[in-house]
Amino acid sequence: MTDQGYLRIATEEAFAPPELITRWRSMLADGSSGDPGFDSLWGFYMGDSPRARQIVERLEDLGERRIADMDATGIDRQIIALTSPGTQIFDAAEGTAIAAAANDVLADACRRHPDRFTGLTAIAPQDPERAAEEIERGVNRLGFRGVIINSHTRGEYLDDKKFWPVLEAAEALDTPIYLHPNTPSPRMIEPMLEAGLDGAVFGFAVETGLHLLRMITSGVFDRFPRLRVVVGHLGEALPFWSYRIDFMHTASLRSGRFPHLSALELAPGEYLRRNIWVTTSGMAWEPAILFTRQVLGDDRVLYAMDYPYQSAPTEVSVHDRLPIDAAALRALYQTNAEKVFGLPPSS
């Protein structure tokens, strides 16, 4: 226990094995990704700007450099996941192989630094059955505490029944899925790219929020009522939209305008408060954090930094100074994460 009375557990922290970076680099070079968002974003990060270089170096490190950065910003533990788009840009066979290799690398680092690192299982949803097996391996053999899915998989979303083996495995093993942003799919990115709004500035949240809302309105959480999903960036704007979504979803059902839209057991916003937890990654902003806690509940909002993309002591200070009591601050930083990811409780 550190001086402030709570551990700071950062829950959306990224890594990438050098082999994955090399493979992405070759995809960019030969133009084979088929994904304009990937080409734009990773074209930048594979460049030689100072920001790009230091991000890639930090993504690749699972040792002393990462721990030094954690110490410098006051972070006790990172929940670490394969950075976006992970394996979801590859064909099924290559994605499955790279996910397993990345999981072995991360599990080894977690074994070397058990007090500082916790891992999430990378999968290739392109092969749902193999992905389900990898979730089981992650939980039962590698000691991982959740699953990372970097939003759409080659333009497809998890409400597609082909992906249900993945959801079924996560629910059966009681391990949460972290639904992390990806660049918008080729079908939605063009107007965003034109305006330079495709990335973290806006496009990530639109794409990931859409993904989660599709899961809700398609009935995924009626089919898998115990499935737990964690999303970053304070819920990718869905808490702010929740009243209007509930109101208009009811109106859409009543109108019969969309014959394939079927009734749900709950209002969309009720799934947010039953199946979804959100983290503060990239949203170190007091009004938004307080609003989200008010809408979803104190027990559903978790701290995240978004290392190495954002790594700022000033943003930690914003969380430390939130006008909430000591128990609530401890929940935000520590005990909510311990519960959601099933970490052994710290004293």
Tell me, by CB under 5 A, how many residues bind Ca ion: 2
Residue 306 beta carbon to Ca ion: minimum distance, rounded to whole angstroms: 4
Exposure b/e, 265-293, CB count within 10 A at least 16 = b: ebbbbebbbebbbbbbbbbbeeebbeebb
Nearer to Ca ion, 146 or 269 (CB): 146
**Going along the chain, which residue ranges are E strands?**
9-15, 77-82, 117-119, 121-122, 147-149, 177-179, 229-231, 276-279, 301-302
Which residue number, 11 or 217, has a Cβ lying nearer to Ca ion? 11
Structure tokens of 193?
Answer: 């790219």
- Minimum distance, C-beta of residue 3 to Ca ion, in the bound complex (Å): 28
DSSP assigned state of 123 = -
**How many CA atoms lie less than 13 Å away from 97 in the CB half-sphere?**
7
Site mask for Ca ion (CB under 5 A), range 188-207, x = bound: --------------------
Tell whether residue 134 is a contact of Ca ion (CB under 5 A). no
Minimum CB–partner distance for residue 57 and Ca ion (Å): 17
Nearer to Ca ion by Cβ, of 12 and 236: the residue is 12
In whole angstroms, how close is the CB of 14 to Ca ion at the nearest point? 6
Give residue number: closest CB to Ca ion.
306
Binding mask 34-73 for Ca ion (x = CB under 5 A): ----------------------------------------
Question: What is each CA distance from 47 to 15, 28, 83, 267, in whole angstroms?
Answer: 18, 11, 17, 45
- Of residues 185 and 208, the one with the C-beta less far from Ca ion: 208
Shortest CB 150 distance to Ca ion, Å: 9
Using DSSP, state whether 115 is helix, strand or coil.
coil
Is 175 buried (19+), middle (13-18) or exposed (0-12) by CB count in 10 A?
buried
From CA 285, how far away is CA 297, in angstroms rounded? 17
Closest CB 69 distance from Ca ion, rounded Å: 15
HSE value, Cβ hemisphere, 13 Å, CA-based, for 326: 4
End-to-end CA distance of the chain: 7
By CB under 5 A, name the one of 159, 198, 306, 338 that touches Ca ion: 306
* Residues 180/150, Cβ–Cβ less than 8 Å: yes
CB of 31 to Ca ion, least distance (A): 26
Q: Which stretch binds Ca ion (CB under 5 A): 152-160, 221-229, 305-313, 328-336?
A: 305-313
Q: Return all residues near 129 (Cβ < 8 A) that are at least 6 apart.
A: 165
Please, which of residues 2-31 interact with Ca ion by CB under 5 A?
Answer: 12
Q: Is the CB of 198 or the CB of 306 nearer to Ca ion?
A: 306
Cβ 271 to Ca ion shortest distance, Å:
23
- DSSP result, 268-329: HHHHHTTTEEEE-TT---HHHHHHHHHHH-GGGEE----TTT---HHHHHHHHT-SS-HHHH
User: Which CB atom, from 199 or from 219, has the smaller least distance to Ca ion?
Assistant: 199
3-class SS at 122?
Answer: strand
As measured in angstroms, the least distance from the Cβ of 12 to Ca ion is: 5
Closer of 306 and 315 to Ca ion (Cβ) = 306
Instruction: Point out which span in 74-82, 303-311, 312-320, 339-347 binds Ca ion (CB under 5 A).
Output: 303-311
- For Ca ion, the closer of residues 84 and 217 by Cβ is 84
Could you list the residues that contact Ca ion (CB under 5 A)? 12, 306
